[in-house]
Amino acid sequence: MSAVTVPAGNTRAAAADPRIGLRANLRHIGALVRRNVLQIRQDPESMFDALLMPIVFTLLFVYVFGGALEGSQEKYVNYMVPGLMAMMGMNIAMAVGTGVNSDFKTGVMDRFRTMPIARSSVLIAKIVVEIGRALVATVILLLMGFILGLHVDNGVFGLLGAVVLSLAFGASLMWVFILLGLVARTPQSVQGLAMIVVLPLQFGSSIFAKPTTMPGWLEAFTRYNPLSNLADASRNLINGGAVAHSAMMTVMWAVGITAISAPLAVARFRNKT
């Protein structure tokens, strides 16, 4: 963390000075990203969700629902795996809220308070690392999909577009869970509240089943569910089909969620530190 240290006599004054340049801010983010990565190296169990969740979910949903929903597991793979990309980003995003809450409990944030760094750099560094974890989970998910018979009809660029879109939307959700982590009192309450939000969005979407098979009221809900837009966009980018509307709606949701939740999270973080 040498990139963010100052002489002891100037620490308080520097920390109180809000005029931190872009270059210095980027150095601080880089140092904090390195710190978070080193934490993962010291605690490799923290990567178990990113490594194992894609494998478990892919096998579970393909072999439990594949025959019933599509008539065969092979057909269901190309429907379900792009949808799971949307679900994976949301599940990984939940972890950042728990991590922020735990850092306050362990006193790490008290140390950051005395450093001459922008408050937003602490949160941005966490998001960068979580995007990396989401990318690892997505790669494993796709590898499992290819093993089970996933085929890409729209070429490599379509596949990359689906990955980028999923990561971008997942990053926007991280701000929501960071805000939840800053508001909730304990990591357990963060997880409980997050599940209340996550489960209806995941299962009330087109991730696992076609909305046309659902009751009318639930089908209407799926149309406005951002996870449905993301799942449809990823599915069409991989399998071929009309992408413009679902991709545009996903981008609009991501921008809107970030524009609202990021300033609120940074403001709450400043007040709390």
Q: Which two tokens stand for residue 198?
A: 């996550």
Among 261, 216, 253, CA closest to 232: 253
Between CA 255 and CA 261 the distance in angstroms is 10
CA 56 to chain centre: 18
At residue 40, the pLDDT reads 85
Query: Can you give the residue ranges of every domain in the chain?
Result: 2-272
Which residue reads 């796709």 in tokens?
Answer: 142
Tokens 């002891």 — which residue? 8
Element (H, E) at 140: helix 119-148
Q: Write down the pLDDT at residue 118.
A: 76
pLDDT at 197: 85
Rounded Cα distance, 113 and 105, in Å: 14
Contact 188, 196 (CB under 8 A): no
Q: Specify the pLDDT at position 21.
A: 73
Q: Three-state DSSP class for 173? A: helix
The answer to whether 205 touches 231, Cβ cutoff 8 Å, is yes
pTM: 0.84
- In angstroms, the first-to-last Cα distance of the chain is 19
What residues of the chain score a pLDDT lower than 50? 1-17
Burial class (CB in 10 A: 0-12, 13-18, 19+), 180: buried
Round to whole Å and give the CA distance between 187 and 271: 19
Q: Read off the pLDDT of residues 88-122 as tens digits, 9 standing for 90 and up.
A: 888 888 888 888 888 887 777 767 777 777 778 88
